[in-house]
Every structure is written in structure tokens, then in C-alpha cells.
Amino acid sequence: MYYSKGNKVLYERRIIYKAPFMKISDDFCSEWKNEIKDDWSANHKLIAWAFLLSLNDKKVYDNYFSKYLDVFKLGGANAEYYMTLSTMYKEYSE
């Protein structure tokens, strides 16, 4: 996480989200299985959900977020959104 302190920009790696909903759940798995695989316009929520879960659980990243493009078709704004989140995750996990 980047933040400013005085006139310096500092970086600190830490878990940002620590709410109960941040654990992988049956709801997430069900959404993943039931989401329309060829309608990229309907999957914006699922991209964000997989990303947020990945911040606290590397298994979610390995099994869901990183494989998103293999399972779902993405285009337009959702493709850009996914690429942005992917870059953010890589920077966060360094």
C-alpha cells in the first residue's frame, strides 16, 4: 500500500481486507459455476470478487483469478479492468 507521510511516499505491504466475506465461500463458487461463460459483459462483479478474495488467499488467485481468461471470454472495458487488477495483484504480492 502506498501512502504519504510528510513529504515522502512510502510503501507497506499488508492485508487490506479482513472482513468475513473475504474468505472463499459457497456463494462465490456457485457464482463461478453458474456465471454465463461467453457473456463477458455480465462478469464484472465476478472479476472483482475473485480479485478481492485473492488478496488474502493465494489458492483463490491460483485456482480462479489467474485462470479467469481461460474460463471466461472478456472484451472491452472488462478486459481492461481484469488487466488492471492483474497488475495490481502482482504489485501487491511482491
pLDDT, tens digit, 9 for 90 and up, residues 2-59: 666 777 776 665 555 555 555 667 778 888 887 766 665 567 778 888 888 888 788 8
DSSP 66: G
The model's pTM: 0.63
Secondary-structure percent of the chain, ordered helix, strand, coil, rounded to 5: 60, 10, 30
**All 3 cell numbers of residue 31?**
457464482
